[in-house]
Chain A
């Protein structure tokens, strides 16, 4: 199988900027990724575009502004994992020899929506949402279950938000860049008990992009890329009478990605995981194997996943909680952060000596499935194997 390298990464600032439009945001990120790679638009053999709200053919509409036409352009939607899935597709095309260089981007505008995100018509699932359940409440139920089964505390959940905000102070592209205290987190308005406002991601607009290529192309340019060592996309499996196993998708994807890369979780230096709500980071920290099951809250509260902790640094960008979560742009924003960390160019938030990174993106939770989609990637800085 052909090795695949990430040679370019770029993203817009994540903030409220709906006036720029989907195409405008996507162009900024794509242009930055191409410039970062030193690759001309004319050298890209295929492009993969991700958006949930950008409308039909967002890839073609955005990339025409860069003079990119005539090549295969694939539009991808996989909920919050949309742009991670776009990268999976780009990688598959390169591995198959269908192109040598591919561009993947994600773009989303969320800030214009009032109230909780709309729940789409999910057919038989409508009876669930008729009860008043929304996305924060869906995650709140996970938190409630974890509290009952493992003793997770409200203070431990608050610690996730405190860490996130503290790290985002040093990320100039983050939506929120001011620190908060645990008291401020716990005293912020309750959205879905036990989750308070500061434990929920903001409504953010933005775009992110990467350029990937074959090992031969990287070598011909003398590039020193970040390598995709493991990459797994899974969908949720039906669960009917026992929905407590909701992190199964992450476990399956991580197992596969780690196996491809030949690594163990203890080898990981840095990770970006899906933390749209604080409980998400707790559950991902466990399911990715960074700590024993049931101990994610205590692990994070003790600083194990903060800089200088005994585990990998998790969400050094501030994660979705602070960097922001423009849905289809989030997955590649996570990749941009890990690539920057592995290059050693993250400035004040740099994880010293980071060589191995993990990216984890969930494609939401869905009624009767343990997830829509889940992507786990293992990235490594270093020479071609």
Chain B
């Protein structure tokens, strides 16, 4: 099982034989919404893992849009993948 975020125990079996691994830095939006000024989306990374995060784009992001993770943000954020 590969999941986000990393943790001390396997979320599938509870075992402690776990290791951190780098996830794909980019993916595609599979669902999105806007709450107030915030745009939030579900992103399927290119390695298959689903992550929720803010979509930092000025206009509503269409499902299917390619996005890239912002690694140093205070919360999980994605921007358009140029």
B residues within 8 A CB of A190? 34
**5 sample A-B contacts, Cβ–Cβ < 8 Å, listed by A number:** A130-B75, A131-B38, A141-B52, A145-B30, A145-B42
Q: Find out whether the CB atom of A133 lies under 8 angstroms from the CB atom of B50.
A: no
Contact residues, B52-68 vs A (CB, 8 A): 52-54, 60, 63-64
Is A141's CB under 8 angstroms from B35's CB?
Answer: no
Min CB gap A283→B, angstroms: 13
Q: Are A241 and B33 in contact (CB under 8 A)?
A: no
Decide yes or no: A193 and B60 within 8 Å by CB, A144-B31, A241-B49, A243-B42 being known contacts. yes
Asked whether B52 lies within 8 Å of A133 as measured between CB atoms, the reply is yes
A142 and B31 contact, CB distance less than 8 A:
yes
In the bound assembly, the distance between CA atoms of A240 and B51 in angstroms comes to 10
In the assembled complex, which residues on chain A have CB atoms less than 8 Å from the CB atom of B52? 128, 131, 133, 141
Mark out the residues of chain A between 215 and 268 whose CB falls within 8 Å of any chain B CB in the assembled complex.
238, 240-244
Q: Which of B33, B50, B53, B60 contacts A192 (CB 8 A)?
A: B33
How many residues of chain B have a CB within 8 Å of chain A? 30
A70 on interface, CB distance cutoff 8 Å: no
Residue in A closest to B30 when the chains form the complex, CB atoms: A145
* Structural contact, A368 and B11, CB atoms closer than 8 A: yes
Neighbouring B residues of A148 by C-beta, 8 Å: 30-31, 63-64
Q: From A194, which residue of chain B is reached at the shortest CB distance?
A: B33
Tell me whether B50 and A141 are in contact (CB under 8 A). no
Tell me if B12 and A240 are in contact (CB < 8 A): yes
The reply to whether the CB of A5 lies closer than 8 angstroms to some CB of chain B is no
Q: Range of interface residues on chain A?
A: 20 to 34
Q: Which residues of B contact A147 (CB under 8 A)?
A: 63
| B window 22-53: CB within 8 A of A | 30-36, 38, 40-42, 48-50, 52-53
Q: Does A137 contact B (CB under 8 A)?
A: yes
Q: Chain A interface secondary structure, helix, strand, loop or mixed?
A: mixed
- Extra inter-chain contacts (13) besides given A131-B53, A141-B33, A145-B42, CB under 8 Å: A131-B38, A137-B35, A141-B31, A141-B32, A144-B31, A148-B30, A192-B34, A193-B34, A195-B33, A238-B11, A240-B1, A240-B11, A240-B49
| B40 adjacent to A137 (CB under 8 Å) | yes
A240, A241, A244, A368: the one within 8 Å of B30 (CB): A244
Q: A residues within 8 A CB of B53?
A: 131
Asked if A144 and B33 make an inter-chain contact with CB atoms under 8 angstroms apart, the answer reads yes
Return the CB mask of A95-106 against B: 1 if under 8 Å, else 0: 000000000000
How far apart are A200's CB and chain B's nearest CB, in angstroms? 12
Q: How distant is the Cα of A143 from the Cα of B41 in the complex, in angstroms?
A: 12
Interface residues as binary, A2-42 with B (CB distance below 8 Å gives 1, 0 otherwise): 00000000000000000000000000000000000000000
Instruction: Name the contact of B50 in the complex, choosing from A124, A131, A143, A243 (C-beta under 8 A).
Output: A243
**Once the chains are docked, how many angstroms separate the CA of A195 from the CA of B31?**
13
Asked whether, in the complex, the Cβ of A133 is within 8 Å of the Cβ of B40, the reply is yes
A134 in contact with B35 given A141-B40, A148-B63, A240-B11 (CB within 8 Å): yes
Q: How far is the CA of A193 from the CA of B12 in the complex (A)?
A: 33
> Which of A141, A194, A241, A242 has most chain B Cβ within 10 Å?
A241
Chain B residues near A363: list those with CB within 8 A: none
Interface residues of A in 105-144 (CB under 8 A from B): 124, 127-128, 130-134, 136-137, 140-144
A68 to chain B, nearest CB (A): 42
